[in-house]
Structure 1
Amino acid sequence: MRPCYPILFLISLLIFVSCADDTSGEAEMARPNIVFIMSDDHAYQAISAYNDKLIHTPNIDRLAKEGKLFTNASVTNSICAPSRAVILTGKHSHINGKIDNLSPFDTTNVTFPQLLQKAGYQTAMFGKLHFGNNPKGFDEFKILPGQGDYYNPKFITQQGDTTIQGYVTDITTDLTLDWMENRRDTTKPFLLMYLHKAPHRSWLPAKRHYTEFTEKTFPLPETLFDDYENRGTAAATAEMNILKHMTLNYDLKIYPEVVEALDIDDRKIYNPIQRMTPEQRASWDSIYGPINEDFQQRYPDMNDSTLMVWKYQRYMQDYLGTIAAVDENVGRVLDYLDENGLTENTLVVYTSDQGFYLGEHGWFDKRFMYDESFKTPLLIRWPHVITPNTTSEEMVQNLDFAQTFLDAAGVMSPNDMQGESLMPLLNGNTRNWNRDAVYYHYYEYPAEHAVKRHYGIATEDFKLIHFYFDVDEWELYDRKKDPLEMHNVYDDPTYADTVATMKEKLKEIRKKYKDSDALSEKYIDIYKDKGLIQ
C-alpha cells in the first residue's frame, strides 16, 4: 500500500505551526545554544588532535573525537583585532574597516551577536575581545582591556572596571561558569563567547604548569634555521626571528638585572611579572631564578646556534605551559555542559584568532600568509548534526563563522556578509559546498615585526602571494610538493601556466570580495595621515 504523503505533510505542517506559535522556553530551546571558544595565537601545531609532538590537549581533542576537525581552516588577515572583527561581522577587513591593530573598529558594523540577540538569544562574552570597551549585542560581558594581563587581571564590565586576583585563564572560566550557573535564562537559547588571552605573548604560565613545563625539552622544527634563500625580501626582512628579535626579558623571563649584567642589548626591557602578589612572585622566582642563574653562567660560551636553540626551548616551555591551562579550562566548560544536560543541543566551536609560528622559518608571531600563520585550528561539535570523529579538508575561513551561527539559529544573514555558512560541511551535505579558493590581505606595515603588506589566494594545490607598497614581489608555492613553503616557484618556467591561472583566479576573487588596488592605496593614505609613513 502506498503511503499517504498528503496526510503526513498536513500533520507535519500542523505540528510546525503549533511549535512556531509556542513562545515557551521549550520551543525556544529547539534552537541550538552556541559556545564559541577562541584562544589568542594558538597554533594548530600545539593541539594534539593536529600534531602530538609538542603537547597533549585531551579536552580540546574531545571536540574532534565528538565532532569534526577542520584541517584546512584559515584566516583572512593574520593579526589579532582584525581577525576578531572579521569573525564578528562576516566581512573582510577592507569592508569592515578594521585592517590592523591600530585602526578603531567601526561600531556601525552589524555583528552576528547583535542579530542573535535581536532574534531572542541571550548573549554573553567573557575574556579577551582586544578592541572596544562596550561590545554591542551582549546582555552581559566581562572583558580584558586591550591585551589584558596573565596575573591578577583587570576586567571591564557594564558596572565598571574590576581587578580579580588569580590566573587569567582560570578567572575567565570562573566568570563563564558563574554566568552559566547563576544568570543564564533557561527559557532562551544562548550565545556564549568564551575568549582566552592565552597563549598570547609574553606567555606567563600558571604555577602548576611552569613548574612542569620548564623541565621539558621539545623537538626542533625542521626549518628553525631557515636562511630565506629563494624567496623575496619580505621573509628576509621580517623582524620576528627567535634569535634576533625575541627578547630575553619580556619574552623569555630573564630578569633585567641579568640582561644588564651581561651587557646585552635587549630592545624591550619590561617586567611582565610586575602584577604578581608577593606570594605569586616568590613561587615564580623559585623556578625562574635558577633558570636565570643557569643562563648567566652559560651565555658567555653560547654561539648563535646554541643561543637559538636555548631561546626556542624557553619559548616553547612558556608558550605551551599557557596552553595547558587553556586545555584544562576548556574541559571544565565541556564538563559543565555535560553535567547540566546542555551538550545535546549546543554547538561548540574551538578556534584561534589566527595561527602562530612555533619556530618554523626561525620565527615567532604571525602576519604572513605562510601556513603556520595563515591556517588556524578549528574543531566543531554539534551532536545529532555532526558525525563524531570526522575530518574536513575543505577550505573554510573565519569569514564564515558569522553566517554559520546565524544559519544554525535560523536567522537570516545580511546580504553584505561575505562568508559562507559551514552548515553543508557540518551536516554532511557536502555537495552544496563548492569553494575552491580563499583570499587573504595583510595591511599592518610599517609596524612591529615589519611584515610587508601583501595579499594572495590559496587553493588546495597552490598559493600565490603579492607583496606590495615598498616592493613589488610575487611568490608561488606548490602546497603539495613543498608543504614547508621553502621554494618560491613563481619564476620557474615549469609553473608559468600555473602562475597565469592563479593570477586570473586572484583577479576574480578580489572582484568577488570587492577588494582592489584603489582600496589598498586608501589604506596606505590612512597610514600617511597618521604619520606612520613618510
Structure 2
Amino acid sequence: MMRRILLTCAGLLATSLSAAPKGPPNIIFLFSDDLATQSISAYGDERKLLDTPGLDRIAKEGIRFDRCLVTNSICGPMRAVIQTGKYSHLNGYYNNSNSSFDHTQQTFPKLLQKGGYTTAVIGKWHLGEEAAGFDYWHILPGQGIYYNPPMIDNGKPVKHQGYTTDIISDLTLEWLKNRDKTKPFMLMSQHKAPHREWAPALRHLGWDNDRVYPEPPTLFDNYEGRSKAVSDHDMGLDRTFTERDAKLLPPAGINEEQLAQWNAYYEPRNKKFLEANLSGKELVSWRYQRYMHDYLGTVKAVDEAVTKLLDYLDKEGLTENTVIVCSSDQGFYLGEHGWFDKRWIFEESLRTPFLVRWPGVAKPGTTNNSIVSLLDVAQTFLDIASLPQPADMQGRSLVPLFKGETPADWRKSFYYHYYEFPVPHRVRPHYGVITDRYKLVHYYAPDVNDWELLDRQKDPLETKSFYNDPAYADTVKELKTELTRLQAEVKETVPPPRATHGNKAFDGEPESSVPKGKGKGKGKKKKAE
C-alpha cells in the first residue's frame, strides 16, 4: 500500500514538474489595425456592438488596461514607436504619406534575438517591405488587401488565396508548430483587419441579421464653438464615405467565385439603398449602419483567430509560460463626432485596447487605469525576457503593473503629437498634454493656430473647448507648464516644423529643427492611410 502511495506521489510530482514553465517566458504580440475598444465586449461599450469571446478571454484571464494611449494616432508611425520605444521625432517615422522606416536602428526584436529569442512577424507590417530583427517574417506589402493577398515570405513574393485574416491566423499557427523549440520565442501576429475598407469574410456577410445599431450621441456633432481644425476635416460619414466604403463596389483582389457570394448579399441591399435616394442625416445614418456591419464583421474574424490561437496554446502546453499582449496601433471612430478613422487627440483614437495575460504574474480579471502607452511595449518585452532596457528608449516597463504594483513615480501626464497633413483626411497637425481629466491641445497649420482645452470630467464626449473660459485660466497655465516640461523630456523641438508630408516644413517655417538623417531607411514609401 505504502509503495503504491509513493509511486502515485512520484508520478504526480513528475507530471507537475513537466508541466511547470521552463526558461524565459515566450511572448506573443497580437495586433490589429484600427481596432476600437468600442468593438471589444470586454471594454463594455454601452452600444453592445459585438461579442468578442476570444479577446474577452484574454481580459478574463489577465488584465484589461483602460488608459493605454498612443503618441501619434496613425498606423505606420505607431508601429515604429513600438519597434524602437521612441517617439516619432526620434525614430524618424512621422506619417504614412512620405516617411520610411530606418531598419538599421535599434529595435526590441533585434535585442531579443541577441538575448537568445527566436523572433517572427506575420501579417501587416507597414514599415516597408523588409523586416529586420526577425528570424522569420511573412508580411503584407503596404496596407495589404482583404482577399487573396500578395505577401512577402522572408523577402520572396508569394500569393495567397483566401481571406487575409484567416491566412494570417493559419501562418501564425504553422510557424508555432515549426519554430525552433530550443529557444523562447517572440511572435508578432498582426492583422490587417479592421482597417478601411472593412471587407468582411464571406461567412460573415449578414452575420448581424440586418441589426439596427444604436447611433453614438455625437454622430451629428456640428463642432459648434470649436477650432476650424476640428470642423474642417475630410474623414466624416457625411462627406468622405466612398463607394467602396459603402460596398457599392467590391473589394480589391476578390475572385469571381468569391464575388458571386459577395454580390448575393450586397446587391439587393444596395438596390434598395439607391432607390431610396437618401440625403442629409438619413444618408449619414444609412452609412453608419453599413459601416457597423462591415467593420464589426471584420473584427469577428479577428476574434475567431484569437480563439484558435488560445486553443492551440492550451493544446500544446504553452499557455502557462507564454505572455500574450493584445493591442492595436491606435483606437478608431465608430461614428463618434460623425467620424471614422483616427488621428485626433480625442479619446476614441488616442486610446487603444491593451489586454495582457501572463499566467502566474498578471492577476486574472483585473483592470488598470494607469496611463500606459504603446511606447512602453519595447521595454516591457525586454523586461519580461530579463534583458537590459536601453537608456535611450522613452517608455517604461509595464511589468510592475502586470504584477499589481504601481510605482510611486508612475506618469500622471502624457505627451501626444500628430503630424500628417493635408492628405488623406485634412486633420491639422497638433500636439498636446493629457492627464486623467484634461487635454490641452495646440492645432497648428498655415490656416490654424488654435488652442483647445478638453475637460473629460465635465464633458466626457469631448464636444466643447474650455480654453477661453476664465474659470479654467489657472488650469491652462498649469497644463502649458507641464506641456513644456514633457516636450523637453521627450526631446521634441518646439515650435514643431513638421506639418506636411514627411519631415518637410511649411513654407516660411524654419527647417533648422528638423532632425538630420531621419526617415532615410531602406523601407519603401507607402500610400497614405
* Same fold per superposition (TM over 0.5): yes
- Residue 290 (1) aligns with residue 268 (2): yes
- 2:361 alignment partner, one of 371, 379, 385: 385
The alpha carbon displacement at 1:295 in A equals 1.2
Which of 475, 481, 498 is equivalent to 2:475?
A: 498
> Equivalent residue of 1:414, what SS?
coil
1:479 maps onto 2:456 in alignment: yes
C-alpha spacing 1:417/1:242, structure 2 compared with 1 (3 Å): same
Given the alignment, which residue of 60, 64, 68 partners 1:65? 60
For each residue in 1:33-82, what CA deviation from the matched residue of structure 2 results, as whole angstroms up to 9, or x when unmatched?
Answer: 00000100011111001125110101101111000000111100000000
Alignment match, 2:133? 137
Superposed displacement of residue 243, structure 1: 1.2
Cα distance in 1 for partners of 2:298, 2:157 equals 25
Report if the CA contact (8 A) 2:33-2:329 is conserved. yes
Code of the residue aligned with 2:263 in structure 1: it is D
Cα deviation, residue 128, structure 1: 0.1
The aligned amino acid for 1:478 is D
Name the counterpart of 1:251.
245
> Could you tell me whether the CA contact under 8 Å between 2:421 and 2:499 is conserved in 1?
no
Q: Which runs of 5+ in 2 are unaligned?
A: 1-17, 510-529
Q: What residue identity is the alignment partner of 1:395?
A: I
Contact 1:395 1:435 in 2 (8 A): yes
Q: Which amino acid aligns with 2:43?
A: Y
Q: Following TM superposition, by how much is the alpha carbon of 1:108 offset from its aligned partner in structure 2, in angstroms?
A: 2.6
Greater shift, 522-531 or 494-503, is seen at 522-531
Deviating 4+ runs (over 6 angstroms) = 25-28
Task: Give the Å deviation of 1:356.
Answer: 0.5
Contact residue 224 and residue 361 of structure 1 kept, 8 A: yes
8 Å CA contact 2:27–2:187 kept in 1: the answer is yes
Judged with a 3 Å threshold, the aligned counterparts in structure 2 of structure 1 residues 430 and 217 are, in CA distance, closer, same or farther, namely: same
Of 44, 53, 77, the residue aligned with 1:51 is 44
| SS, match of residue 238 in structure 2 | helix
The Cα shift of 1:211 comes to: 2.6
Q: 1:401 to 1:526 in 2, by over 3 A?
A: closer
Report how many residues are paired.
489
Superposed CA deviations along residues 229-252 of structure 1, whole A, max 9, x for unmatched, are 1211111001111011111x1201
Aligned pairs for 1:519-530 (under 5 A) are 520-521=496-497, 528=504
Equivalents in 1 of 2:421, 2:263: separation in Å?
A: 38
CA distance in 1, matches of 2:392, 2:127: 22
RMSD after superposition: 2.1
The aligned counterpart of 1:241 is: 236
Partner of 1:166: 162
The answer as to whether partners of 2:19 and 2:317 remain within 8 angstroms in 1 is no
Distance 1:172 1:530, change over 3 A: farther
* Native 8 Å contact 1:129 1:144 kept in 2: yes
In the other structure, the counterpart of 2:254 is 276
**Distance change in 2, residues 1:45/1:433 (3 Å):** farther
Residues 146 and 252 of structure 2 are in contact (CA less than 8 Å); yes or no, is this contact kept in structure 1?
no
CA contact under 8 A between 1:144 and 1:156: conserved in structure 2? yes
CA distance in 1 between partners of 2:216 and 2:168 (Å) = 32
Distance 1:282 1:440, change over 3 A: same
Which residue identity is paired with 2:39? A
Q: Distance in 1 between matches of 2:506 and 2:466?
A: 37
The answer to whether the 8 A contact 1:121-1:189 is kept is yes
Partner residue of 2:326 out of 331, 345, 350: 350
The alpha-carbon distance between structure 1 residues 369 and 501, as it changes in their structure 2 partners (threshold 3 A), is same
Deviation at 1:523, TM superposition (A): 6.2
Higher RCO (C-alpha 8 Å, min separation 6): 2
The alignment status of 1:191 with 2:186, answered yes or no, reads: yes
The aligned counterpart of 1:106 is: 102
Paired position in structure 2 for 1:19:
none
Give the conservation status (yes or no) of the 8 Å contact 1:29–1:189. Answer: no
Structure 2 contact 497–506 (Cα < 8 Å) conserved? no
The answer for unaligned runs of 5 or more in structure 1 is 1-24, 256-271
Aligned partners of 1:151 and 1:525: how far apart in 2?
Answer: 30
Q: Secondary structure at the match of 1:156?
A: strand
State whether residues 499 and 506 of structure 2, in contact with CA within 8 Å, keep that contact through their aligned partners in structure 1: no
Question: In the alignment, is the contact (CA less than 8 A) between 1:424 and 1:433 conserved in 2?
Answer: no
* Paired AA for residue 206 in structure 1: A
Could you give the per-residue CA deviations for residues 97-140 of structure 1, whole angstroms, max 9, x where no partner exists?
Answer: 10001211122321100000111101111000012211111111
Q: Is 2:35 the counterpart of 1:42?
A: yes
Please report how far the alpha carbon of residue 279 of structure 1 lies from its aligned counterpart in structure 2 after TM superposition. Answer: 1.1
Query: Do the aligned partners of 1:425 and 1:433 also contact (CA within 8 Å) in 2?
Result: no
Distance 1:233 1:214 in 2: 40
Q: Deviations over 1:166-208 (max 9, x none)?
A: 00000001001001112x1222100000000000000100011
CA drift of 1:27 comes to: 12
Displacement of 1:464 in angstroms is: 0.5
After superposition, residues 332-351 of structure 1 pair within 5 angstroms as 332-351=308-327
Residues 159 and 434 of structure 1, relative CA distance in 2, 3 Å threshold: closer
Counterpart for residue 524 of structure 2:
none
Match for residue 400 of structure 1?
376
Cα-to-partner distance string for 1:288-322 (whole Å, 9 max, x where unaligned): 111121112111xx230110100000011100000
Q: Tell me, in whole angstroms, the C-alpha distance in 2 between the residues paired with 1:473 and 1:523.
A: 15
How far 1:273 sits from its partner (Å)?
2.4
**Amino acid across the alignment from 2:442:** H
C-alpha displacement of 1:365: 0.5
Give the structure-2-normalised TM-score: 0.89
Structure number having the greater helix percentage? 1
How far did 1:433 drift? 5.0
Aligned equivalent of 1:118, options 114, 126, 137: 114
1:64-83 alignment, distance < 5 Å = 64-83=59-78
Deviations 1:474-503 (A, max 9, x none): 011111121110110000000001000000
Identity of aligned residues (%): 52
Amino acid at match of 2:129: N
1:201-240 → structure 2 map (5 Å cutoff): 201-213=196-208, 215-240=210-235
Aligned to 2:437: 461
Classify 1:400/1:229 alpha carbon distance in 2 versus 1 (closer, same or farther; 3 Å).
same
Kept in 2: contact 1:214–1:314 (CA 8 A) = no
CA contact (8 A) 1:214 1:317 kept: no
Change (3 A) 1:65 1:526: closer
User: 1:433 and 1:351 mapped to 2: Cα distance?
Assistant: 25
Distance 2:498 2:223 in 1: 31
SS of corresponding position for 1:311: helix
Partner amino acid, structure 2, of 1:213:
D
SS at match of 1:142: strand
TM-score calculated relative to the size of structure 1: 0.89
- Evaluate the alpha carbon distance shift between residue 495 and residue 103 of structure 1 in structure 2; reply closer, same or farther with a 3 A threshold: same
Q: Confirm whether residue 156 of structure 1 aligns to residue 152 of structure 2.
A: yes
Q: CA deviation at 1:395?
A: 0.3
